[in-house]
Structure 1
Amino acid sequence: MSASKTTAERGSRGESLEPVVSFVVPARNEAEYIRGTLSSIVGLDTAYAYEVIVVDGGSTDGTADIAREYDVTVVSDGGSGIGPARDLGADYATGDWLAFVDADTRVRANYLTAMLGYVEAEGVAGASSACRITGPYRAKLMEATINHVFPRLELPILPGFNCFVRRDAYHDVGGFPNVPNEDTAFSRRLARSYDTGYCARALVESSGRRIADAGLTGTLWHYGRLDVERVRAGSRG
């Protein structure tokens, strides 16, 4: 396990500030996308201090080298899975809030300020935001499901590519489990103990590459199968 040291966002006079938020970005062979993701994060328009932790899952395409071009921490976990990768990033985090963003997701410039304003105003321990799924038009059904169905569930699902959670609450419920559809399992577990919500003022843009490759039916089948495996693994959330 190795890491390159990060620095927090600098203040107006150059002093180092303790991060309020820690972005955690799991990545495995994401050379095609990770520049856009990290550029969007380091380019945030905010006065809040934050840090970025990239957890490299044994990439062979230069993902880690690209990440090191940015002012971020790069940690290697050897490819143990998406849930453990997010957990490892959380272990390195020092911010009061954790922002889990996938390596093919870009955040809008107001994301951090809007999300912090929302969770503080609403008194919630976890949240997601509006999303836009790029790619083929059929990806819009997935986008609509995330934007309009997930928030209305009795136990709302906070998708792993865009999950904002208070660090103490994250650890209190055990973090992301190492099961299929780990974000569903985590979200349900979190919502049983804490209030969660969706911030409509913030927006992220995530890749619809799976839908482009497998089609909408194939993608729904993929996630449906993972959810069956999650339940069989004994993780109902």
Structure 2
Amino acid sequence: MSASETTVEGDSRGESADPVASFVVPARNEAEYIRGTLSSIGGLDTAYEYEVIVVDGGSTDGTIDIAREYDVRIVSDDGAGIGPARALGAEHAAGEWLAFVDADTQVRANYLTAMLGFVEAEGVVGASSACRITGPYRAKLMEATINHVFPRLELPILPGFNCFVHRAAYDDVGGFPNVPNEDTAFSRRLGRSYDTGYCPRVLVESSGRRIADVGLTGVLWHYGRLDLERVRAEY
């Protein structure tokens, strides 16, 4: 769906100057979690201007009503998937930096200032950071993989729930593609052309609900199957 076919509500952060960063939050039936996410972004301790864009994929559970309580712009799409939702949010973003955060992820108050300081100091165009996965203890294996394996890969994976990237580099590699495991596909494309990294001074917290629902084995099978589909799509 193109930007001209979407419905847009609100003007994020009112009359503020052009934002340095745009937070893009895709959401579909996230009423249980999105309040925590938007509250955490709204509570950032920073002097930098930023905006928040919620991309709703046809929610029916009150997600939109909750989002309207916050100073955000709401973009409604047809629920085509997480990759297209991230891409659509980026289309509507005005910031020099794009911060992709999922609707069940909460950021700490220092997130924006610390991430901007990190990318400038390290000379990278994209970054993620340490995460804490809530839920059952077995979610700690996924947490450890993200914190200790992803950053050490030749082409580091920047998880979609916590991906901070310069707009020009994002556009240059084509943004998030509409393929399974879109964040892995995007990270690999970005890493082939630019330096990326992980900021050790930032922590985000994300939900381990999928592991709670289907177990660790089920989650590994799910993402393994998606990654095979990504490879077949030549990403």
With normalisation by structure 1, the TM-score equals 0.95
Match status 1:229 vs 2:229 = yes
Cα shift at 1:159: 0.2
**Which whole-Å CA distance do the structure 2 matches of 1:97 and 1:8 have between them?**
16
CA-to-partner distance for each residue in 1:24-59, whole Å, 9 max, x for gaps? 000000000000000000110111100000000011
Q: Percent identity?
A: 83
Which amino acid is the alignment partner of residue 70 of structure 1? Answer: Y
In structure 1, the gaps of 5 or more residues are: 10-14
Match of residue 35 from structure 2: 35
Unaligned runs of 5+ in 2: 1-5
- Paired residue secondary structure (2:165): strand
**For 2:28 and 2:227, how far apart are their aligned partners in 1?**
22
Kept after mapping to 2: 8 A contact 1:8/1:18? no
CA separation in 1, counterparts of 2:19 and 2:11?
Answer: 11
Paired with 1:35 and 1:7, the residues of 2 have a C-alpha distance of 16
Q: Could you tell me which residue of structure 1 aligns to residue 10 of structure 2?
A: 5
Q: Deviations over 1:150-198 (max 9, x none)?
A: 0000000000000000011001100000000000000000000000000
CA-CA distance at 1:140 after TM superposition? 0.4
CA distance in 2, matches of 1:19, 1:228: 38
Query: Greater shift after overlay, 61-70 or 190-199?
Result: 61-70
Alignment of 1:1-237 (within 5 A): 1-8=6-13, 16-235=16-235
The separation in 2 between residues aligned to 1:30 and 1:234, in whole angstroms, is: 31
Letter in 1 for 2:52: V
**Is the 2:22–2:52 Cα contact (8 Å) retained in structure 1?**
yes
**How far 1:18 sits from its partner (Å)?**
1.4
Cα RMSD for the two superposed structures: 0.9
Contact in 2 for aligned 1:136/1:208 (Cα 8 Å): yes
Cα pair 1:45 1:109 within 8 Å, conserved: yes
TM-score normalised according to structure 2 size: 0.96
Q: Name the amino acid aligned to 2:81.
A: G
- Distance in 1, matches of 2:65 and 2:234, equals 38
Query: For the residues of structure 2 that align with 1:220 and 1:51, how far apart are their CA atoms?
Result: 34
Aligned residues: 230
Shift of 1:78: 1.2
**CA distance in structure 1 between the aligned counterparts of 2:108 and 2:59, rounded to whole angstroms:** 26
Letter in 1 for 2:36: G
Contact kept, 8 Å, 2:23 with 2:50, in 1: the verdict is yes
- Cα distance, 1:4 vs. partner? 1.3
- Whole-Å separation in 1 of the counterparts to 2:84 and 2:139: 28
Q: After TM superposition, what 4+ stretches of structure 1 lie above 4 angstroms from structure 2?
A: none
Deviations 1:38-96 (A, max 9, x none): 00001101111000000000111111111111000000011011000000000000000
User: How many Å separate the matches in 2 of 1:77 and 1:41?
Assistant: 22
CA-CA distance at 1:6 after TM superposition:
2.0
